[in-house]
């Protein structure tokens, strides 16, 4: 019955457009198209006037041969990502997950809520809190402790140890995501394994070493890639707390691209710089995608009546 078949096909298309159309449209216009635009922009000479004069390789030539600040920015990025990730976003997140699951459940939930507080507060507020903590005069929270408790002279983290400051500020926020993921992974370990280990005489450390950690292998590798990617591209707190300064001391690569575009108006050069991040982003996204549970995600849908 061709008529029936045609009506069926029409209904299928109508459903497709109705249910998936809005999402496809939004994603295409504001997500996929910008990737293409970035690719094109990187090869232009767009400046303050926002007009394209000519197509050129100049941006990449500048990036690889002339830009002396770029090397510094890469160094800062490397130190920042490595230390924040190594100290806070994975290691400390793991410690928090282990400890909050070892204390009574209510208390554990309380401490997890405390660590989620920075993530739930607006970034401007969180940055302000840090500015009040490291205020260089004697009113800064840190200096109140340093002066009155340790009897040392006031310290100025923001100007003298800016890199340490942005690592701490990002770390205290970054640890919470890993903490949540690891906590739910620990919870999903069958209880009887712990009992069996105890009966066999395992102590707390042996249990962590031989039961908990092996179960966390996938979540840990997932979080490591996910967090290094997000640390690599996000500069929100750095911009708010140090502004990338003093001078360029805390300007990580992504902030460098942002500052080139929106501070000095070199939009094309900024686009060329972010193109590198886009490429890294795609590669890391593909790597993450391997770690997701694809079978569960791609299992066939259950009803196919239109």
In the complex, least distance from residue 286 CB atom to another protein, rounded to whole angstroms: 6
Question: Nearest-5° angle of CA 170, CA 173, CA 176?
Answer: 135
Judged by beta carbon, residue 135 or residue 162, the one nearer another protein is 135
CB 74, min distance to another protein, A? 16
Per-position x/- string for 106-125, each x denoting binding to another protein as judged by CB under 8 A, each - no binding: -x---x-xxxxxx-xxxxxx
Within positions 61 to 90, which residues make up the interface with another protein, using CB under 8 A?
Answer: none
Q: How many Å apart are CA 142 and CA 136, to the nearest integer?
A: 9
Residue 3: CB minimum distance to another protein, A: 19
Site for another protein in 16-45 (CB under 8 A): 16, 18-20, 22-23, 26-27, 29-35, 37-38, 41
Nearest-angstrom CA–CA distance, 77 and 69: 12
Nearest distance, CB of residue 71 and another protein, angstroms? 20
* Residues 264-303 contacting another protein, CB under 8 A: 267, 270-271, 274, 277-278, 281-282, 284-286, 288-289, 291-293, 296-298, 300-303
Least distance to another protein from the beta carbon of 280, Å?
A: 8
**Token output for 145:** 């402790």
DSSP-assigned beta bridge partners for residue 183: none
- Which residue is associated with the tokens 């000095």? 264
| Rounded CA separation 141/246 (Å) | 21
Instruction: State how far the Cα of 99 lies from the Cα of 89, in Å rounded to an integer.
Output: 15
How many chain residues are in contact with another protein, going by CB under 8 A? 101
What are the residues whose beta carbons fall under 8 Å from the beta carbon of 175, sequence distance 6 or more?
88, 89, 92, 93, 96, 115
Residues 210-269 that bind another protein (CB under 8 A): 215, 218-219, 222, 226, 229-230, 232-236, 239-240, 254, 257-258, 261-262, 267
Nearest distance from C-beta of residue 262 to another protein, angstroms: 6
Q: Which whole-number Å values give the CA distances from 262 to 142, 192, 255, 269, in the listed order?
A: 33, 57, 10, 11
Touching another protein, residues 157-176 (CB under 8 A): 172
Distance (Å, whole) CA 88 – CA 185? 18
The smaller minimum CB distance to another protein, of residues 83 and 143, is found at 143
**CA 278 vs CA 111, 120, 284: distances in Å:** 36, 27, 10
- In the list 62, 91, 144, 202, the residue contacting another protein (rule: CB under 8 A) is 144
């Amino acid at each position: 019955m061709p008529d029936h078949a045609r009506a069926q096909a029409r209904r299928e298309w109508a459903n497709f457009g109705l249910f998936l159309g809005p999402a496809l449209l939004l994603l295409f216009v504001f997500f996929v198209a910008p990737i293409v635009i970035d690719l094109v922009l990187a090869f232009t000479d767009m400046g303050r006037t926002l007009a394209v004069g000519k197509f050129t390789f100049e941006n990449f030539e500048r990036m690889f041969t002339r830009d002396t600040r770029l090397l510094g920015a890469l160094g800062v990025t490397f130190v920042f990502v490595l230390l924040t990730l190594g100290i806070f976003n994975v290691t400390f997140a793991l410690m928090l997950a282990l400890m909050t699951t070892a204390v009574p459940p209510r208390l554990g939930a309380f401490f997890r809520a405390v660590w989620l507080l920075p993530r739930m507060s607006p970034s401007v507020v969180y940055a302000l809190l840090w500015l009040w903590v490291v205020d260089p005069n004697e009113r800064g929270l840190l200096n109140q402790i340093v002066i009155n408790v340790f009897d040392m002279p006031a310290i100025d983290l923001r100007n003298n140890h800016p890199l340490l400051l942005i690592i701490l500020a990002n770390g205290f926020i970054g640890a919470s995501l890993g903490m949540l993921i690891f906590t739910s992974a620990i919870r999903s370990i069958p209880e009887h394994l712990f009992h069996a280990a105890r009966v066999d005489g395992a102590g707390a450390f042996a249990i962590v070493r031989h039961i908990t950690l092996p179960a966390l292998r996938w979540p840990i590798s997932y979080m490591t890639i996910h967090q290094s990617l997000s640390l690599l591209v996000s500069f929100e707190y750095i911009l708010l707390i140090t502004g990338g300064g003093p001078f360029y001391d805390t300007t990580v690569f992504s902030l460098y691209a942002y500052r080139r575009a929106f501070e000095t108006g070199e939009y094309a050069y900024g686009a060329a710089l972010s193109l590198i991040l886009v490429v890294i982003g795609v590669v890391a996204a593909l790597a993450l995608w391997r770690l997701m549970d694809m079978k569960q995600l791609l299992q066939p849908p259950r009803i196919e009546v239109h």
